[in-house]
Amino acid sequence: MKTKDIIQSIRNNTFEEQEIIPSEIKVHEILSISDMHLLKELAKNREKFQILRRNETWQNNGVRQLVLRKMDELVTFLRYIENGDCRCIKYQFIKPDPEKEESLGLVKILKKVQHERFFEISYECECTICHTIFICHSAEERFHIGYYWRRKPIK
């Protein structure tokens, strides 16, 4: 069951009857869903994803550990959502481009500081829903730009 099928089945109220195929789950796509209603419905059905965390679900090979880790992230994320946290909790798990997040209306960039190196930029971003402030740093990584998010400490 691909992410678009999961979304469609939630909208059609048929998700509980659907079978999840572990190899088709793209955790980063689910974590990137910005619709809180969809996320809350997924969180209500968290137990369907918890089975995918078990060792016996996967063959004992190199891919298994990666998939188990991703399922752990997904189940933890859904637990946060079920407990009433904002969707911005996803920044603990995925590290998106803050300018792209701003263009989607998910955060507001309060401050942007360009450093000496071209790809090194610091951002101060605010979640548009819960107003949590995040500090994000971008840096050049091997073959791409990496983003590191953390909550700004409250003084």
Q: Do 77 and 100 share a domain, yes or no? A: no
Q: Do 71 and 145 share a domain, yes or no? A: no
Q: Do 7 and 37 share a domain, yes or no? A: yes
pLDDT of residue 107: 96
pTM over 0.75: yes
What b/e string do you get for 5-31 counting C-beta neighbours within 10 Å, with b at 16 or more?
A: ebbebbeeeebeebeeebeebebeebb
Cβ atoms of residues 46 and 78 within 8 Å: yes
Q: Do 71 and 27 share a domain, yes or no? A: yes
Cβ atoms of residues 134 and 148 within 8 Å: no
**pLDDT over threshold 90, residue 102:** yes
pLDDT of residue 100: 94
Q: Do 17 and 61 share a domain, yes or no? A: yes
Q: Do 106 and 139 share a domain, yes or no? A: yes
Q: How far is CA 118 from CA 64, 115, 121, 145, in A?
A: 38, 7, 8, 11
Distance CA 137, CA 17 (A): 42
Q: Do 63 and 133 share a domain, yes or no? A: no
List pLDDT tens digits, range 13-63.
898 888 877 667 888 899 989 888 999 999 998 888 776 656 555 566 666
Please give the residue range of the domain that contains residue 103.
Answer: 95-151
List pLDDT tens digits, range 50-101.
766 565 555 666 666 777 778 888 999 999 999 999 999 999 889 999 999 9
